[in-house]
Amino acid sequence: MPRISPSLALKIVLALAASTPRPSIAIGQDRPPNVVIIFTDDQGYADVGAFGAEGFETPNLDRMAAEGRTFTDFYAAQAVCSASRVALLTGCYPNRVGIQGALGPGSKIGINEQEMTIAELLKPLGYATAIYGKWHLGDAPRFLPTRHGFDDYFGLPYSNDMWPKHPTNPSAYPPLPLIDGETVVETDPDQRNLTTWYTERAVEFIDAHADDPFFLYVPHSMPHVPLFVSDKFAGKSERGMYGDVIMEIDWSVGQILDALRRNGLDEETLVVYTSDNGPWLSYGDHAGSAGPLREGKGTSFDGGQREPTLMRWPGRVPAGSTCSEPAMTIDLLPTIAALTGATPPDHPIDGLDISPLVFGEPDAQSPHDALYFYWGRELQAVRSGRWKLHFPHSYRSLEGEGGTGGRPAPYVQREIGEALFDLRSDVGESTDVKADHPEVVSRLKDLADRARAELGDSATDRQGSGVRPPGRL
């Protein structure tokens, strides 16, 4: 019998996972569940009360933890804006779909119309869909959310620091557009109002669609720098403006939860809260905290990609429970497909259905053999179970304290060689144990080679047989 190559085997597995229909978990005879995803920007792992926040309170997020499930080992797919967002919406590693880094104003690339977003997944089932917040997958009309399954859009097309008041490169950016639908309704808006505006639109959307299934995506612009907070929260925390901003986001979560309860939708709605990457540590007092995790945004260490994640669905998700199995934002699309009965994309994706983890099924384990940690096109690390293997690479790190008052301190470049960490006993990735576990190193290297064949790796000059192009103007 001829042998099947690892690359071909992975393609077959991914294609079958994407195409196999799964039964929905129906709410009523004719209505599938609502889905709300709240996605913050540059929030640290320790910036939620349930994850050890200090200097500010997050009562509504803590309520989500008490009424739902805390995920301690949940990752963003890459530690930077656009790459992370395309992964969440498409269920793919960013390099599979050709989106890297943080796309700027006037970008000639964006999300490809051939990719299926969560909104497009759900539209055939009659879902109303909306996004209120930061998009960051291309600002040309063909890349906007309204061309990718969303009925309604209000927010910024990219990061809020890409404007003429940028602290280190102001001449690089045009006035910041605020978009409603596909129309620029204001330039350089008062950013103190952004969180309030997004929240008001989200609540209005819930109220308007209480009788319809809906998908609501709220990707907040905060706490990405520059930080802005409304008067109602300015000075409220003991953690300066950063704490004030998180308290306002927590208020926003409360408003959304209250709207669901007011409309009798609590037991019909899955709410997911997570972040796009870890804290931007160079901004010091305007940055979050990764807590016990190593490094932050822009790195493949856990401080860059492990996110404070909560899921709530009263009557379905076990209240006050915790999941420590590895999972990633790429898993949201296939999980939502499984919960709603939607038809997944007919092309390969990388995420897997984690509904057994969400529902706390006995002995449920991560469906992934491994999770892969890329920076751009470079495969820098792989995690399997408790083990995480880093490959030699350079990374940015702070030397001393971060900046103050919204201005960043400089990073230094450091190097890490091949290193194995036991995340069960060493969450800070500080003690290399590869010499003690050569068999684990060998197994994780084999898993990495499987990813390189399919997804590529610039460090080993692999293009990847499964990489698809981004959209291009």
What is the pLDDT at residue 320?
Answer: 98
Catalytic-labelled residue, pool 92, 136, 148, 209: 136
Q: Do 384 and 317 share a structural domain?
A: no
Look at residue 151 in the predicted model and tell me its pLDDT. Answer: 99
Mean pLDDT of 158-166: 94
pLDDT band at residue 7 using 50, 70 and 90 as cut-offs:
very low
Q: Is residue 26 part of a domain?
A: no
Whether 220 is a known active-site residue: answer no
Give 107-131 pLDDT, tens digit per residue.
999 999 999 999 999 999 999 999 9
Query: Over the stretch 12-26, which tens digit does the pLDDT of each residue have?
Result: 333 444 444 344 444
Q: Does the annotation count 323 as an active-site position?
A: no
Task: Say yes or no: 388 and 244 in one domain.
Answer: no
* Domain final position from 368, 397, 423: 368
Give the model's pLDDT for residue 270: 99
Higher-pLDDT residue of 260 and 30 is 260
pLDDT on residue 171:
83
Has residue 76 been placed in a domain? yes
Contact 279, 303 (CB under 8 A): yes
Of 327, 346, 368, which residue is a domain's last? Answer: 368
pTM exceeds 0.75, yes or no: yes
Which of 368, 401, 420 is at the close of a domain?
368
pLDDT at 147 over 50: yes
- Catalytic option among 81, 148, 209, 347: 81
Query: What φ, ψ does residue 104 adopt, rounded to 5°?
Result: -95, 175
| Structure confidence at residue 145 (pLDDT) | 99
Window from 6-10, 184-188, 314-318 with minimum mean pLDDT? 6-10
Handedness of CA 389, 443, 45, 340 (dihedral sign): positive
pLDDT score, position 76: 99
Domain residue limits at 244: 34-368
> Over 60: is that where the pLDDT of 411 sits?
yes
User: Which CATH number characterizes residue 216's domain?
Assistant: 3.40.720.10
Question: How many domains is the chain built from?
Answer: 2
